[in-house]
Structure 1
Amino acid sequence: MAEASREFFDRSGLAATIARNVSNLEVLLNMGFPKERAEKALAATGDRSVQLASDWIFAHVDDTSLDEKVPREYVLFACPTGPLVTQLDEYSEKTLVHCGRNGSHNSFPHVTLCSFFAVPDSTVPKVVHAVLTVAGRLSCREVPAKVSLDFYSSSSFVGLFVDDRSAAFLRNASQEFANEVLKTTGIEVKAHKKQLHITLAYQFNPSQQKKLEELARDIDTSMPAQWDLRLYSRDTRRAKSDVVRVVHPLPPSNDDELELVRGDYIYLEPDELVSSSDGWLRGVSWLTGCAGLFPGNYTEKAAETDTWTLHRCVPVISLRGSSSTRASAPPLSPTQLPPLPSEPSTLSSTTRAPVPDRRNGPSRPPLEEMYSQVQKSRPVSNSKPAPPRQLYILRHGERVDVVFGKRWMNACFVNGEYSQQDLNLPRKLPSREGSPLSFAEDSPLTEMGWFQARLTGEAMKRAGVHISQVYSSPSLRCVQTADAILDALGLRSAMKIRVDPGLFEWLYFYKASGLPKLMTMKELLDFGLNVDPTYHPIVPVSDWSRTEDVVQYYQRNHTVVQSVLGSTDGNTLICAHAGSLDSCSRHLQGLSARTQREAVKLMVKIPYCGMAVFQEVKEAGIWDQVEPPIHTLTHSPNHKFDWRVLQS
């Protein structure tokens, strides 16, 4: 669908239109989209770009409600960022493990400044302008140096109350926003006048209150934080829906079934989860607006706010007490909006200038032509040339949390002791700091996952594959996979695994949950994994960024691969993640990073222990993909893997 809209955009001859600094709406109208659809698409995507809005329209072509005139609901939040949010995220994770889900897990940390209010799609730009106007006024006033938070608990609520001075500042901002919206649109907004607070827990079982309070008192509210005004919107029709996230893709088998696309969200009626008797649920896709049946075990519970749209984010209270913040640094402009990690914009939302499309990267001549040129320039020699080097990139084996759910630890740990509750669960687990919570974002292999890795290593040995060095992502499942393959190759005593954080998967996947707590080299060694404790990473964890976009992700992986290939004349094995087969090889082939949508669509096609092999074309300065020397590994739910998928 993105390709279709790009083709349409390219055929429309809109260069002159864009150059006139016209609005995204005008561009969409010139492309031929009906005004109502264009306005709805811009509202649903936060007016990020023409490309994203047109993609949204094409994705919703089968949505029977596409042309319904239903306004979205908007709300203004004050949201903290920085070290304080890390504390709040850790509290949310701990309460989920120890006490189960409560109402607070349905959103991120925030202070609500007004009630939800409906806005027609055509009026949204005026509401956005109201946020910027108010932020501009606030920047000229005395701003609180810091927002202080006081702990409060009752039988139905655990939270943090904002101090009086900061609350007055935020209430004033909320009231001015309400006045501005009323003046420019005629829409009434009810600014909150009650005690402002961050909710830590509500709608919980009374028996959990003591534990929730105990965990809340561990939050260090003195940690520095920047506070932003954020304008969000949601689909009015889904305001009371439950939300689940697709974790396993599944094509529909019948006309009444919903296609499951990994990363999509599905809206459910409030009683759908409990009323289903056969595990099949009826829902509506957030991505396409289409409705249908789907198996519930292919999804997991998600926060309602995951489906909301961010329209503006304006810093109003600076980060204090952080060594990385310079006192002389100029404040952010009220019109500055941090980019969302989505499809690259065709138009900048600020300058309206065209953004070059880099998704296909630099062009290169056909491989046949390059090989011909290489042959002509190669000196005549009677000696047999050495075989070209090869790079083997492999996804890890089956992971526990995908098979048994994100909270598998709840059933397996009693008083801190692990017990195998299923034959496919690991027979034993390593001792590590933060256990069992640390396994939530750093899952081990299942027993089947270890067997997959072992089978792959044995097949490589039969095929005569020779490895000179092996590298792994720091994820436990990746290190376990590399260890099993080395053992099967008979190289475990002769070769150690070099663990490099630069090979970790895309950090955007951890933007909401926070970066995972990885095992130390000592913990890996104590568990019996054959890692190299003397290895110095090329990209250490300290270089990670939770705001990493897809281009930076590809570059981070390439930085490591480029370095490790320069350290040997032999073959290299890398054990990492689904996206690694492409992110670690894309630049080696003379191509640039894929777009976010293209990268995610490719990731879901890589099965456990899926392998890609690349061979050096030394004279041309690239590495070309070749057929793997071993057969694919196919079993349920592993689909048959076609290695040529990376060439699409």
Structure 2
Amino acid sequence: MAVAETQLYSKVLNKVKNRSTCALLESLLSMGFPAHTAQKALAATGHKTAEEASKWLHSHCNDPSLDDPIPQEYALYLCPTGPLHDKLQEFWKESKNQCARNKAHEIFPHITLCDFFTCEDRKVEFLHEALKKVGDRFLNVFPPAISLSLHSSVSYLGFFINDAHANVIKEFAVAFATEASILADCRVKPCTKQLHLTLAHKFYPHHQKTLEQLAKSVNPGQSCLWTAALYSRDMRFVNYQILQALFQYKPQNIDELMLNTGDLIYVDRTQQSDVSDGWVIGTSHRTGCRGFLPENYTEKANESDTWVKHREYTFTPASGLLPKNENEPRRKLNGEVHNPMTKSVTQTLAFQLSQTVALRRGLLVMRHGERVDHVFGKSWIQQCLTADGKYHRADLNFPANLPKRRDGIKHFEYDPPLSCCGVFQSRLVGEALLEKQEAVSHVYCSPALRCIQTAQHVLEGLKLEQKIKIRVEPGLFEWTKWEANKIIPSFMALTELTEATYNIDPSYRCTFPLSSLVPSESYEEYVSRCSAVVKQIVSDCTSNGIILIVGHGSSLDSFTRPVLGLPARDSNDFASLVRKIPSLGVCFCEELKEENRWQMINPPVKTLTHGSNAAFNWRNGILDS
């Protein structure tokens, strides 16, 4: 840099540093907040209002790191807005539905200009000033329309920027980095490599063709205003998983974390080895507090959900320079979109689309509902037997009655039924499938009573209990190594199930006979059994419609991987995965006929989540008071 230019920047820097304290900071100081925490709050909330910063400080009053001098990290992104942004969001949603999440879903559509760098809290305003100054300087030379070309590989899909346009954008990034480095005294590294806008990253190779097909719906020439946006994130939680609370949770113990609906939680998956099943330890984005929380109260969120937008600069070209797309609908003077398609044609297409979705060929694998022994323990039968050996309902969540079986009631100990809540869960899932108009055509079921009951009540929710019979397939039983008594349970006979009014298909000839199930089978034997059975089921059901398999927690992985053409996972990973699958957990695979393969996509219904409800005795406490 020339000496004269260096001196000029030095004068500007001194001028900025000698300014009086900003109005936002003065407002917080007048409330009694210390200067360093006030500056931290302003940096964490984007320097927007004193009210937001004050609210952040009150929320973080118990944050053990409040006084730590740890700065935020900042990045500068070029983001599309308008019709192109809307199309990209549609691609995001559809790619997640059809091909599950990939790395690109963690962040909104963007082109990276300057990757993350640190800046002291008290100097963040200088970054805002740098963005404004450089934006004004490049406003008239910034390309009104950026030329994008699609690029695809086995692990990446996205748009590359035309060289001529990329050079201008890189110059803008370098100018911001220089200005920010001088004004804010921080080290900023501009992106000087191939500029790109990522659509999908780190996905399964067999999803590549589907993603490429979806990307064709995104027209890179659509109208778009580009915005340079400055974001910040908490550098302590880089590479952490982000969870979002679905429900409120009030701590029961001092080491548990308070959750409000919508709270974002940072979770380090490498620190969960000693945590009880169903729980995780995490740090609240809202309060900064750390503690245990029930994982089933949360769902996965995106990495960028915890980021804060500080400032943005929109490159608005002169009137008439915006690219126009002749295929875009014309707009009336009042802003309404004029659609030349007639209502009748629209309705016809909508009907055809709904028919196509309803008649797709899919495989829905489901775990059974809540089993009674998981609520009341292995001694549940003893709790329900009278002195003369008859069954009585000791709790409202016990079944109202048990089906008759010739070998005696005690055999239910190793072949337990659903609880009443399990029955309700199953019917609720069936009703949800009915609401989504999913066309279930075949039902296959493990011989375990809890699975047969689940299948029956799902069909009742679908209003198909009289139309579809349940095919009992012994090969769908869980890994026999996990059976507590190390023997194959004595299942109810098909005639007994029919007498108990379960709609069993007596003509079905099973693929894997019950006599072939062996106790304590090896993992390789179990995987081989599952692969053979599910492939036979899929080959037998050639018509369109949903094949429903009701099995166990292990079924979701062991019956979908063979269909997807994936190898069996390691047995230790398999056991760890199965422990996390709740009652009525589901996986859904859809056939891509033209490509002669299957893909896993989002299930048509979400998993049912609910809290525990402990036993209550009114004599304990109520009577005493």
TM-score by length of 2: 0.50
Which residue matches 2:360?
A: 415
> In structure 2, the residue corresponding to 1:423 is in which secondary structure?
helix
**Partners of 1:224 and 1:68 in 2: CA distance:** 45
Q: Deviation of residue 313 (structure 1)?
A: 1.2
Which residue matches 2:63?
A: 63
**Partners of 1:195 and 1:61 in 2: CA distance:** 44
> In structure 2, the residue corresponding to 1:152 is in which secondary structure?
strand
**Partners of 2:435 and 2:33 in 1: CA distance:** 57
Q: Are 1:79 and 1:109, in contact at CA under 8 Å, matched by a contact in 2? A: yes
1:251–1:431: structure 2 CA closer, same or farther, 3 Å change rule?
Answer: closer
Q: Are 1:226 and 1:320, in contact at CA under 8 Å, matched by a contact in 2? A: no
**Partners of 2:294 and 2:187 in 1: CA distance:** 42
Q: 1:425 aligns with which of 418, 424, 429?
A: 429
Q: Deviation of residue 192 (structure 1)?
A: 0.5
Which residue matches 1:94?
A: 94
Which residue matches 2:417?
A: none
1:209–1:275: structure 2 CA closer, same or farther, 3 Å change rule?
Answer: farther
Which residue matches 1:117?
A: 117
Which residue matches 1:298?
A: 297
Which residue matches 1:264?
A: 263
Q: Deviation of residue 169 (structure 1)?
A: 2.0
**Partners of 1:325 and 1:26 in 2: CA distance:** 50
Amino acid at match of 1:220: N
Q: Are 1:413 and 1:419, in contact at CA under 8 Å, matched by a contact in 2? A: no
CA deviation string 1:263-312 (max 9, x = no partner): 11000114357885511000000000000000111111111111001000
Q: Deviation of residue 30 (structure 1)?
A: 1.9
Q: Deviation of residue 173 (structure 1)?
A: 1.0
**Partners of 1:431 and 1:268 in 2: CA distance:** 33
CA deviation string 1:482-511 (max 9, x = no partner): xxxxxxxxxxxxxxxxxxxxxxxxxxxxxx
Amino acid at match of 1:425: V
> In structure 1, the residue corresponding to 2:427 is in which secondary structure?
coil
1:416–1:220: structure 2 CA closer, same or farther, 3 Å change rule?
Answer: farther
Q: Are 1:144 and 1:165, in contact at CA under 8 Å, matched by a contact in 2? A: no
Q: Deviation of residue 432 (structure 1)?
A: 8.0
1:151–1:117: structure 2 CA closer, same or farther, 3 Å change rule?
Answer: same
Q: Is 1:321 aligned to residue 304 of structure 2?
A: no
**Partners of 2:315 and 2:308 in 1: CA distance:** 20
Amino acid at match of 2:131: V
Q: Are 1:162 and 1:196, in contact at CA under 8 Å, matched by a contact in 2? A: yes
Amino acid at match of 1:237: R
Q: How does 1:186-335 map to 2 (within 5 A)?
A: 186-271=185-270, 278-318=277-317, 320-321=323-324
**Partners of 2:148 and 2:247 in 1: CA distance:** 40
Q: Deviation of residue 175 (structure 1)?
A: 0.6
Q: Are 1:418 and 1:429, in contact at CA under 8 Å, matched by a contact in 2? A: no
1:260–1:23: structure 2 CA closer, same or farther, 3 Å change rule?
Answer: same
1:174–1:325: structure 2 CA closer, same or farther, 3 Å change rule?
Answer: farther
> In structure 2, the residue corresponding to 1:429 is in which secondary structure?
helix
CA deviation string 1:67-118 (max 9, x = no partner): 0000110000000011111111111111212111110111100000012110
**Partners of 2:272 and 2:113 in 1: CA distance:** 32
Q: Is 1:82 aligned to residue 85 of structure 2?
A: no
> In structure 2, the residue corresponding to 1:230 is in which secondary structure?
strand
**Partners of 1:192 and 1:30 in 2: CA distance:** 41
1:68–1:21: structure 2 CA closer, same or farther, 3 Å change rule?
Answer: closer
Which residue matches 2:29?
A: 29
Which residue matches 2:514?
A: none
**Partners of 2:199 and 2:273 in 1: CA distance:** 26
Q: Deviation of residue 417 (structure 1)?
A: 6.1
Q: Are 2:358 and 2:437, in contact at CA under 8 Å, matched by a contact in 1? A: no
1:419–1:71: structure 2 CA closer, same or farther, 3 Å change rule?
Answer: closer
> In structure 2, the residue corresponding to 1:115 is in which secondary structure?
strand
1:177–1:201: structure 2 CA closer, same or farther, 3 Å change rule?
Answer: same
Q: Are 2:124 and 2:184, in contact at CA under 8 Å, matched by a contact in 1? A: no
**Partners of 1:325 and 1:424 in 2: CA distance:** 44
Amino acid at match of 2:101: R
**Partners of 1:129 and 1:278 in 2: CA distance:** 49
> In structure 2, the residue corresponding to 1:129 is in which secondary structure?
helix
> In structure 2, the residue corresponding to 1:104 is in which secondary structure?
helix
**Partners of 1:137 and 1:125 in 2: CA distance:** 19
Q: How does 1:562-577 map to 2 (within 5 A)?
A: none
Which residue matches 2:515?
A: none
Q: Are 1:420 and 1:426, in contact at CA under 8 Å, matched by a contact in 2? A: no
Q: How does 1:450-469 map to 2 (within 5 A)?
A: none
TM-score by length of 1: 0.48
Amino acid at match of 1:265: L
Which residue matches 1:155?
A: 154
CA deviation string 1:585-641 (max 9, x = no partner): xxxxxxxxxxxxxxxxxxxxxxxxxxxxxxxxxxxxxxxxxxxxxxxxxx9789xxx
Which residue matches 1:630?
A: none
Which residue matches 1:612?
A: none
**Partners of 1:44 and 1:280 in 2: CA distance:** 28
Amino acid at match of 1:321: K
**Partners of 1:418 and 1:431 in 2: CA distance:** 15
1:208–1:61: structure 2 CA closer, same or farther, 3 Å change rule?
Answer: same
Q: Deviation of residue 261 (structure 1)?
A: 0.6
**Partners of 1:101 and 1:144 in 2: CA distance:** 33
> In structure 2, the residue corresponding to 1:75 is in which secondary structure?
strand
Task: Give ranges in structure 1 of 5+ residues lacking alignment.
Answer: 1-19, 327-411, 434-445, 451-634, 639-648
**Partners of 2:206 and 2:40 in 1: CA distance:** 45
CA deviation string 1:425-460 (max 9, x = no partner): 144535789xxxxxxxxxxxx99xx9xxxxxxxxxx
Amino acid at match of 2:175: E
Q: Are 1:117 and 1:189, in contact at CA under 8 Å, matched by a contact in 2? A: yes
**Partners of 2:330 and 2:253 in 1: CA distance:** 56
**Partners of 1:291 and 1:82 in 2: CA distance:** 39
Q: Deviation of residue 317 (structure 1)?
A: 4.6
Q: Are 2:233 and 2:306, in contact at CA under 8 Å, matched by a contact in 1? A: yes
Which residue matches 1:641?
A: none
Over alpha carbons, which structure has the higher Rg?
Answer: 2
Amino acid at match of 1:49: T
Amino acid at match of 1:69: P
**Partners of 2:215 and 2:272 in 1: CA distance:** 30
> In structure 2, the residue corresponding to 1:284 is in which secondary structure?
strand
> In structure 1, the residue corresponding to 2:429 is in which secondary structure?
coil
> In structure 1, the residue corresponding to 2:74 is in which secondary structure?
strand
**Partners of 1:86 and 1:432 in 2: CA distance:** 28
> In structure 2, the residue corresponding to 1:114 is in which secondary structure?
strand
> In structure 1, the residue corresponding to 2:84 is in which secondary structure?
helix
1:244–1:285: structure 2 CA closer, same or farther, 3 Å change rule?
Answer: same
Amino acid at match of 1:192: C
Q: How does 1:163-562 map to 2 (within 5 A)?
A: 163-271=162-270, 278-318=277-317, 320-321=323-324, 415=360, 422-427=426-431, 428-429=433-434
Amino acid at match of 1:123: K
**Partners of 1:275 and 1:218 in 2: CA distance:** 46
Amino acid at match of 1:224: S
Which residue matches 2:52?
A: 52
Q: Deviation of residue 251 (structure 1)?
A: 0.7
Which residue matches 1:489?
A: none
Q: What fraction of aligned residue pairs are identical, expressed as a percent?
A: 39
The alignment's C-alpha RMSD in Å is 3.4
Q: Are 2:143 and 2:165, in contact at CA under 8 Å, matched by a contact in 1? A: yes
Amino acid at match of 1:308: W
Q: Deviation of residue 142 (structure 1)?
A: 2.6
